[in-house]
Chains A and B, each alone.
Chain A
Amino acid sequence: MPKSKLTTLDEFKALLKDGMTIMVGGFMTDGTPEQLINAVVESGVKNLTLINNDGGYPERGIGKLIANGQVKKLIASHVGLNPTVAKLMNSGEMEVDLVPQGTLAERIRAKGAGLGGILTQTGLGTLVQEGKQVVESEGKKYLLEVPLAADLAIIEATYADKFGNGVNIGTTRNFNPLMALAADKVVLGTYKLQELGEVDPSSVTIYGVLVDHIVQIEEM
């Protein structure tokens, strides 16, 4: 066993830097480790680029970082349940890059899988196409969508062992396993920390080999 990955909230905060690109798992904050988001708020780091499915809610999930003025740019597919995002977008205070949800998932996966990009028909003929290369393959047109990378991924598992092998229950899985592959450093928040051997290897959704830090967190 390599050295312990167990990390305190204070040690987690020490990993955060101004200007970082951070992927945050979760879908409308379900599957988002809220306590780790709170720690990012407390750290006060600024000029973040966040990659998340959505904009969270005004007072929950990454919405708290947006409300706190810590986010320079948001890359997301849907921001309709956090009106602050549209406000900051329209006033020019925050840059928002809207990406179709399937394309967002696949761009993150492309980075994690070592691919140079993906070809998709999603977004052809729409604003999403602007500035992108159109590639013809087997007689059909596709948009070339490039990989998305991050300095840090903040993800969750419902429970995990001390190596970081984790399980996401139900729909909390969403972007979490994809982001574990696509960031330089991966921080896993989990609600129940288990001993090695206690997590069924066949049920694992977050793979410990990808996890750098494990923080035991509480639901909030």
Chain B
Amino acid sequence: MDAKQIIAKRVALELKNGELVNLGIGLPTMVADYLPEGVEVILQSENGMIGMGHIVSGPHNRNFTNAGGTSVTILPHGACFDSAFSFCLIRGGHVDGTVLGTLEVDQHGNIANYMIPGKMVPGMGGAMDLVTGSRKVIVVTTHTDKSGNSKILKQCSLPLTGVACCDLIVTELAVIEVTPNGLKLLEIADNTTVEEVIAKTEAPLILAEPVKTFSTN
């Protein structure tokens, strides 16, 4: 498996049967493909749907789309609604969990994923509401960027999407919990070592006792 698949498969273990979950576009969407047998979650899409199914290839069907504007199926238990209701679900604490990609995340649970000033300005879309209102915020990212710099920082440098809002960080190397005392290394991938994870993480890590291992197969 590549890094994204490893992350998606590990995050899938965090979701409980029957939970209402919002998965961001891209890597987070892949999580749905790795749910263990017996676990089904209800997917919420902020453009106005619960019970989202899978991406549909072929001609664009504008009547049923995900938040990236891509056609999707809707499951038999699904329902559609307007944007105000969609964010009532999100802000009102009715969404059990959200999985988001990021540019930066830090030891305080801050997340920065919506702009690089002067360069890239996608905008926050629904992310600021999701990190504020979701009961559980799971951040997924490769452990380092393409140049090998840690994505898990002491302090985010980019404009924040949310303050002290992240609960769990999952990378291809580690599962890290955000605690009031700092970041706690819960698990490492079966192809790395605690020393390597510490070396590749800018923020200090508290070690769980014991640090468990997760599968990369």
Contacts and interface: CB of A to CB of B under 8 A. Distances in A.
A123 B63 contact: no
Contact of B121 (A27, A53, A86): A86
B128 interface: yes
A109 B74 CA distance: 27
Contacts of A205: 82
A154 to B, nearest CB: 16
Chain B interface size, under 10 / 10 to 19 / 20 to 34 / 35 or more: 35 or more
Given A27-B47, A169-B63, A98 B80 contact: no
Given A126-B160, A170-B64, A77 B84 contact: no
Interface residues of A, number: 49
B132 A105 contact: no
Interface in B47-72: 47-49, 62-65, 67-69
Given A101-B129, A105-B83, A171 B47 contact: yes
Among B48, B127, B162: residue with most chain A CB under 10 A: B48
Among A80, A81, A90, A128: residue with most chain B CB under 10 A: A80
B129 A100 contact: yes
A108 B74 CA distance: 27
Contacts, number: 149
Contact of A170 (B63, B124, B126): B63
Main secondary structure of the interface of A (DSSP, over half): mixed
Nearest to A120: B91
B121 A109 contact: no
B38 interface: no
Given A78-B122, A102-B46, A128-B128, 16 more contacts: A28-B68, A29-B69, A30-B62, A78-B125, A90-B121, A102-B83, A109-B84, A123-B128, A124-B132, A124-B163, A125-B162, A158-B63, A170-B80, A171-B45, A171-B48, A178-B84
